[in-house]
Amino acid sequence: MSRPAIVFDLDGTLVDSLPDIVASFRHAFGELGITPPSAAQVRSEVGLPLETMYERFAPREAVSALAAAYRRHYPEHFADQSRPYPGVPELLAELRERGYAIAVATTKRSDMATRFVHAMGLAQAIDHVQGTDGFPHKPAPDVVLRALQAVAGDGRWMVGDTTHDVGAGKAAGLRTFAVTWGTHDAERLRAAGADVVADDLAGLLGELEPSAGRRRGSIRR
């Protein structure tokens, strides 16, 4: 029998990683001598593929070089400021105790995402890390479906911080739980059709089906 499964986005959902992403994104412009966009402008685009983000702010002919510069810089600096959000390790431990399979579905490449999860100390709490490797990105459901296949899970929820996460979860047939502490605000997430919009992940346990878990608990904050 397959286990009930919950799929999480990574950046802006489990880990407060946006400062390091934004810093590396803007650093690439400096390497090429191009004026970078503001941090606020970059933050609003996080969740899209890297090249797509650069296309928003740079000439097409510079996009490949900018993406390459980012990929050189970010792996050396992805843990400068990034940390799991408060309560995340406890939440994942509680879900594991209740018998849920836990997967990550991220726009990061799988190798980079796996390194990052290990650096954040979350690897032992996650059954599978699925990056977007050469197939359609969110809001297409591909990365979510591949994550569920990898854990042989009966998907219940997609948890994320962007409209792309909400769209991917809905397209995969999952209920969607959206947090506002990442990239997109509550208004945008509700407009995208999220089933639940919350300021953090603490309420996720209360949304789970009573029959799916072993016991009810609370996240220690």
Residue ranges per structural domain of the chain: 3-16+82-212, 18-77
Mean pLDDT of 87-116: 96
Q: How confident is the model at residue 2 (pLDDT cuts 50, 70, 90)?
A: confident
Q: Output the average pLDDT for the chain.
A: 93
Q: Is 192:163 a contact under the CB 8 Å cutoff?
A: yes
Angle at 46 between CA 75 and CA 92, to 5 degrees: 75
- Rg of the chain over all Cα atoms, to the nearest angstrom: 17
In angstroms, the Cα distances linking 67 to 30, 61, 143, 198 are: 13, 11, 21, 33
Q: Is 164 helix (H, G, I), strand (E, B) or coil?
A: helix
Mean pLDDT of 174-181: 98
Token pair 């809905």: residue: 170
The b/e string for 119-151 (b: 16+ C-beta within 10 A; e otherwise) is: ebebeebbbbbbbbeeeebbbbbbbbbbbbebb
What is the pLDDT at residue 47?
82
Catalytic positions, written as ranges = 9, 11
The CATH H-level superfamily of 3-16+82-212 is HAD superfamily/HAD-like (3.40.50.1000)
Whether the predicted pLDDT of 1 surpasses 80: no
The CATH H-level superfamily of 18-77 is Putative phosphatase; domain 2 (1.10.150.240)
Q: Say if strands 175-179 and 153-160 run parallel, antiparallel, or are unpaired.
A: parallel
What is the pLDDT at residue 212?
54
| Phi, then psi, of 3 in degrees rounded to 5 | -85, 150
What is the pLDDT at residue 20?
96
Q: How far apart are CA 206 and CA 66, in angstroms?
A: 43
Q: At what angle do helices 63-77 and 110-119 cross, to 10 degrees?
A: 20
Helices (H), the chain: 18-32, 39-43, 50-55, 63-77, 88-97, 110-119, 142-150, 163-171, 186-191, 204-207
Whether the predicted pLDDT of 22 surpasses 80: yes
Q: What is the DSSP code (8-state) at residue 58?
A: S
Global pTM value:
0.88
Q: Is 179:201 a contact under the CB 8 Å cutoff?
A: yes
Q: How far apart are CA 47 and CA 86, in angstroms?
A: 21
